[in-house]
């Protein structure tokens, strides 16, 4: 079972992995983050990605998630999977915004909608960080409250769509091996989180 620090590290890693690639991604992999995180799930090590391959990853990211002739195979927005007709900015997006607002957070002025995958993962990082801080203070009640918020958000707004998102990537024959690897790992992590949160709360 993952501890709270490992869970926080994983959320941070997946935020980087599924954001538009910049110099932080190769740097994170070069620090060994990908190898260490794969080890947490007994998964294969990530394909080698060097800084020189950044442009290749940017092209692959655009092709998978933003724009491809005939439509991007795996748009990273929850509403695409949760709303009828795969439409953006539906009622589920409003629910995500309400969850952020409940924690005093706002996405006003953000480039992406509230249900953009990296934004949702960053929100969960925030909640896990709250849980970890409460545990360090010995505040069990606050830690449980943070875990309950994680469970509520994941059950309603993340876990119902991420498995399909991951499968679309893994089923796409032209997907870059790095993103296929990352999708497999994210799917495992979400299943781990689902099981952990079900037991925790």
pLDDT digits (tens, 9 = 90+) for 35-85: 787 788 777 777 776 665 888 899 999 999 998 777 789 999 999 999 876
Task: Give the domain CATH number at 20.
Answer: 1.10.3480.10
Mean of pLDDT values over 78-98:
85
> Comparing 28 with 126, which gets the higher pLDDT?
126
pLDDT digits (tens, 9 = 90+) for 166-194: 999 999 998 999 899 999 999 999 998 98
Mean of pLDDT values over 6-14:
91
Phi then psi for residue 77, to 5 deg, are -130, 125
Residue owning tokens 């896990």: 128
pLDDT digits (tens, 9 = 90+) for 103-141: 898 887 778 899 999 999 999 999 999 999 999 999 999
pLDDT grade, residue 29 (50/70/90)?
confident
Is the torsion defined by CA of 14, 18, 24, 27 positive or negative?
Answer: positive
Reply yes or no on whether the pLDDT at 89 is more than 80.
Answer: no
- Domains in the chain, number: 1
Residue owning tokens 């925790």: 200
**Cβ(199)–Cβ(35) under 8 Å?**
no
Domain assignment of residue 146, given as a range: 4-200
* Residue 169, CA distances (Å) to 18, 32, 75, 79, 176 in order: 12, 24, 10, 17, 9
Residue owning tokens 């692959």: 60
Angstrom distance (rounded) from CA 7 to CA 12: 9
pLDDT value of residue 53 = 80
DSSP notation for 151-192: HHHIIIIITTTHHHHHHHHHH-TTS-HHHHHHHHHHHHHHHH
């Amino acid at each position: 079972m993952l501890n709270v620090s490992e869970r926080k590290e994983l959320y941070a890693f997946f935020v980087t992995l599924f954001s538009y690639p910049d110099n932080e991604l190769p740097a994170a992999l070069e620090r060994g983050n990908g190898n260490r995180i794969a080890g947490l799930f007994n998964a294969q090590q990530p394909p080698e990605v060097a800084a020189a391959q950044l442009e290749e990853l940017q092209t692959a990211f655009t092709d998978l998630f933003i724009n491809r002739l005939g439509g991007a195979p795996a748009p990273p927005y929850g509403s695409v999977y949760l709303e009828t007709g795969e439409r953006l900015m539906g009622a589920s997006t409003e629910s995500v915004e309400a969850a952020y607002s409940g924690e005093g957070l706002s996405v006003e002025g953000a480039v992406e909608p509230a249900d953009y995958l990296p934004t949702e993962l960053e929100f969960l990082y925030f909640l896990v960080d709250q849980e970890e801080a409460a545990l360090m203070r010995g505040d069990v009640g606050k830690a449980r409250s943070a875990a309950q918020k994680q469970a509520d958000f994941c059950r309603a707004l993340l876990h119902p769509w991420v498995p399909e998102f991951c499968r679309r990537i893994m089923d796409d024959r032209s997907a870059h091996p790095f993103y296929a690897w990352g999708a497999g790992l994210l799917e495992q992590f979400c299943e781990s989180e689902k099981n952990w949160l079900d037991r925790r709360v």
